[in-house]
Amino acid sequence: MINTPPNPGNPYIGSNTEKGFGTLGGPDSVGTLTQMATCALKAAWFHKWMKDLRLRPEEYGSLVQANLTKSTPVPQAAAALHSDILNSAALPMIHSTYGSYLLPQAFPEGSPNHPCYPTGHGAVAGACIAAIKFFFDGSQKIRPLLTAAGRDVVVPSSDGLSLNTYTGADRDSLDINGELNKLAHNISFGHGIHAGIHFRSSTFWSILLGEQVALSVLRDRAKCYNEPFLITITKFDGTTATITNLGGVDKNN
């Protein structure tokens, strides 16, 4: 832990008689994260099967294979591929290496059997990050918090086997919000993009879907808190959102 202070809108800040625990405290934050994961996955599965049915990159590679090898019969979608993909410089490299135009996969068993969008990892990451911002002050600079705990900002070494102190010019301006945003993208990119089982756009929009799920859950839960509060978080796009149990407040800013 690096002792990040609570969100400035926490009603218990400065109180001499009360502290957050089951509401806006440690147990509440931990319990909320697990709730967010469940809600985000349910939203993702609704979009996967009931709304979008987006194909996987692996399936798209099969359409490329069918088109370029003139397989018979040619799937209708394969015949309608854009010329940009058919003329991609990557295709000859894939064919010379693997003997086909099928998309290489990191997983020997191939892609999961459910649709590509939304990514479960991305939706959960977006929802849980929004919840963390609700409980903690995301504007805090991260380096002072680390150095107070005897640590510093680090980056992976070139071989990925160790961590080196980060000396970039922006190291003192890095804040909690920025690091949380990077974490959400790294979770989904590391799982799906580099493995070849998700499109980049699926990851991006899944994170935003998870964020919206979290805001909806938090606004519903706000009515269950006794102490009046107004908490503002910075969203992934840089705009702000408000969660409150006060009446007459625009909650969509």
Q: What is the mean pLDDT of residues 112-136?
A: 95
Judge whether 116 and 69 are in contact, CB under 8 Å: no
Known catalytic residues are: 114, 121
pTM of structure = 0.89
> Whole-angstrom Cα distance, residue 95 to residue 91?
6
**Which pLDDT score is estimated for 174?**
96
Work out the burial of residue 213: count CB atoms within 10 Å of its CB; fewer than 13 is exposed, 13-18 middle, 19 or more buried.
buried
Q: What is the mean pLDDT of residues 208-233?
A: 95
Q: What is the mean pLDDT of residues 221-234?
A: 94
The values of phi and psi at residue 213, to 5°, are: -60, -45
Judge whether 86 and 64 are in contact, CB under 8 Å: yes
Structure tokens at 169: 């010019």
> Whole-angstrom Cα distance, residue 57 to residue 75?
16
CA dist list (Å): 202 to 47, 52, 116: 11, 11, 7
**Which pLDDT score is estimated for 248?**
59
> Whole-angstrom Cα distance, residue 145 to residue 167?
16
Judge whether 154 and 142 are in contact, CB under 8 Å: no
CA dist list (Å): 172 to 143, 150, 155, 175: 6, 16, 14, 8
More confident residue, 190 or 236: 236
Residue 201 has pLDDT above 80, yes or no: yes
- Percent of the chain past pLDDT 70, that is, above it, reads 97
Residue 162 has pLDDT above 60, yes or no: yes
Residue 253 has pLDDT above 70, yes or no: no
* pLDDT band of 93, cuts 50, 70, 90: very high
Q: How big, in percent rounded to 5, are the helix, strand and coil portions of the chain?
A: 50, 10, 45
Mean pLDDT, the chain, whole residue set: 93
Q: What structural domains and CATH numbers belong to the chain?
A: 26-244 (1.10.606.10)
* pLDDT band of 189, cuts 50, 70, 90: confident
* pLDDT band of 59, cuts 50, 70, 90: very high
* pLDDT band of 252, cuts 50, 70, 90: low
C-alpha torsion 125→4→2→238, nearest 10: 40
* Distance separating the N- and C-terminal Cα atoms of the chain: 31
Residue 1 has pLDDT above 80, yes or no: no
